[in-house]
Amino acid sequence: MLSLIVFWPALVGAVLLCLPARLSARLFVGVWIAAGVVDLALVVAVWLRLPRQGYGFEERLPWIPSAGISYHLGVDGLSLPLLALTAVLFLACAVFALRETRRVKSYVVLFLALQTVSSGLFAALDLILFFLFFDLSIVLMYFVIAGWGHGERARAAALKFFLYTFLGSLALLLGIIALFLAAVPHTFDIPALAAANPLAGGGLYAGLTLLALGVGLAVKTPTVPFHTWLPPAHTEAPATGSAILAGVLLKMGAYGFVRIAMPLLPAGWRQYALVVVIVGVVSVVYGALVALAQTDVKRMIAYTSINHMGYVVLGVGAAGLVAGSDVQARALATTGAVTQMVSHGLITGALFLLAGVLHERGGTYDMRAYSGLAARTPRFAALFAVAAFASLGLPGFSGFIAEFQVFTGALGAAPVPTALAVTGILVTAALFLLALQRLFLGPLRTPDAPGAPRPLPDVRVSEALAVAPLLALALVIGILPRFLLDVIEPAARGLVELVAR
């Protein structure tokens, strides 16, 4: 079942590859949408039958037995929400791509491959398999940014993205190998390593292993100061590329913390939890403040991603502060961190797609070039406003559910860092209100093309159909979060127990 979910998009992509490229663009995108719907349906089926404890839908085949590498898939409450997020976001991007005209065949095939890689990463229970998908995602995203971005600068940004995150993945590989060598018998299997807990004693070796893993994952998440690849990559990427990059690829780093770093290195995690907390808080505050100073709407959203991922890091860090907090608080912080991953994927995905709509209409991301658009494009303004309020953590949307859990769970163990992190939601409120005001309120002004004024139409049906479901899902999670939390909470509690042992 999981193999089907993972490889179904690639299979469809392989079939599309055989078709001639001169066929209509609608055909390719239509097939992509159909494939996405099937994949989402399969994920829903898995969701409905997930066991409450442990891994479900496990598949294990020997791959390179001599090196302890196996093809091992499985999902639990930590990975399934992200697997579902992947399916939802790719489907949204497929719908959004109905308006894509440039080299549609390669575009669709590339995204299908990227979906396989992303799903594979979240389903992988073997470190080498995880690493393989981790690296492939970088390669494929490189082509998305370089091939469909905004011109020459996109290729430079793509190269920067590739080299920086690839370097990060090498650190990750180093950590993975260190884990492999520490375990007796040597293995890359994640559940086996979690059970064996080879570095339970802590010490220098465990610390260095955690450092390598942490740096590798921190680059991808990204946390301050490893974030500088993110703003240019987002600014130059196409709307769908940005949505996937922010919505899915960033989660790979954050997911690595809960899947690898915390359960496999509990002693080290406890020892350095305060460092993690501080990195998280710095990301929260720094990301929010730098975002406040941006005038480019995509750069601004990119920096708010750093802010939002900072809450994830804060939450998982607080889960390691065993002294001074009880199990409920730590489980709450961990659940909040995982919820934040899902929430950020939905909301920021929607925001990036909407930024794409803006760019398509006005030809620029510079917010100073616009004003009063609400009069001309009321539906676009409404969608953007909903996404903005969701992103600033307004209750009723998923962001609040996530952040409230992180704050409430973390305050007892880390009062001062958490109190500082709470100010992040005030700064994000300020920056989103400012952005709404600049773009949509006040007297009407649009960036005029040379000659005639731009037509500036409101959101089209395909664009609205791509964005609205993401926001609707964020709303549902914000009001009725139990269906999601029922899945995450047992796994989060299990993880907290693994960290505390």
Residue 379 C-beta: closest distance to other proteins, Å: 6
Residue of 60, 150, 359, 379 that binds other proteins (CB under 8 A): 379
Is the separation of the CB atoms in 260 and 227 below 8 Å?
A: no
Residue of 404, 469, 476, 497 that binds other proteins (CB under 8 A): 404
Q: What is the dihedral of CA 185, 191, 195, 199, to 10 degrees?
A: 70
Q: Is 410 in the site for other proteins (CB under 8 A)?
A: yes
Residue 227 C-beta: closest distance to other proteins, Å: 8
Under 8 Å CB-to-CB from 65, ≥6 apart: which residues? none
Is the separation of the CB atoms in 182 and 198 below 8 Å?
A: yes
Q: Is the dihedral of CA 130, 132, 134, 136 positive or negative?
A: negative
The DSSP string of 450-483 is SSSPP------HHHHHHHHHHHHHHHHHHH-THH
Residue 459 to residue 379: CA distance in whole angstroms: 7
Residue 277 C-beta: closest distance to other proteins, Å: 14
Q: Is 337 in the site for other proteins (CB under 8 A)?
A: no
Say whether 263 sits in a helix, a strand or coil. helix
Q: Is 27 in the site for other proteins (CB under 8 A)?
A: no
Residue of 3, 271, 364, 423 that binds other proteins (CB under 8 A): 423
Of the pair 11, 464, the CB lying nearest other proteins is at 464
Under 8 Å CB-to-CB from 284, ≥6 apart: which residues? 307, 310, 311, 314, 420, 421, 424
Residue 70 C-beta: closest distance to other proteins, Å: 34
Give the pair of three-digit tokens for residue 36. 């996405």
Q: What is the size of the binding site for other proteins (CB under 8 A)?
A: 59
Residue of 87, 425, 470, 477 that binds other proteins (CB under 8 A): 425
Closest CA to 404 of 471, 339, 336: 336
Of the pair 130, 286, the CB lying nearest other proteins is at 286
Positions 274 through 313 that interact with other proteins (CB under 8 A): 286, 289-290, 292-294
Of the pair 86, 165, the CB lying nearest other proteins is at 165
Give the pair of three-digit tokens for residue 239. 């709307």
Positions 185 through 214 that interact with other proteins (CB under 8 A): none
Of the pair 53, 328, the CB lying nearest other proteins is at 328
Is the separation of the CB atoms in 313 and 221 below 8 Å?
A: yes
Residue of 96, 131, 134, 229 that binds other proteins (CB under 8 A): 229
Segment interacting with other proteins, rule: CB under 8 A, options 59-67, 95-103, 202-210, 423-431: 423-431
Is the separation of the CB atoms in 31 and 108 below 8 Å?
A: yes
Is the separation of the CB atoms in 327 and 412 below 8 Å?
A: no
Neighbour count for residue 50 (Cβ, 10 Å): 19
Say whether 179 sits in a helix, a strand or coil. helix
Residue 9 C-beta: closest distance to other proteins, Å: 33
Under 8 Å CB-to-CB from 305, ≥6 apart: which residues? 230, 234, 246, 250, 287, 344, 348
Residue 74 to residue 82: CA distance in whole angstroms: 13
Q: Is 223 in the site for other proteins (CB under 8 A)?
A: no
Positions 30 through 59 that interact with other proteins (CB under 8 A): none
Of the pair 13, 168, the CB lying nearest other proteins is at 168
Give the pair of three-digit tokens for residue 354. 């909407």
Residue 270 C-beta: closest distance to other proteins, Å: 19
Residue 208 C-beta: closest distance to other proteins, Å: 22
Q: Which residues pair with 69 in a beta bridge?
A: 64
Residue 37 C-beta: closest distance to other proteins, Å: 25
Q: Is 465 in the site for other proteins (CB under 8 A)?
A: no
Residue of 149, 256, 362, 412 that binds other proteins (CB under 8 A): 412
Q: Is 408 in the site for other proteins (CB under 8 A)?
A: yes
Q: Is 407 in the site for other proteins (CB under 8 A)?
A: yes
Segment interacting with other proteins, rule: CB under 8 A, options 18-26, 67-75, 233-241, 433-441: 433-441
Is the separation of the CB atoms in 362 and 446 below 8 Å?
A: yes
Binding residues for other proteins, rule: CB under 8 A, are: 160, 163-164, 225, 228-229, 286, 289-290, 292-294, 325, 328-329, 331-332, 335, 372, 374-375, 378-379, 382, 389, 394-396, 400-401, 404-405, 407-412, 415, 418-419, 422-423, 425-427, 429-430, 433-434, 437, 440-443, 481-482, 485, 489
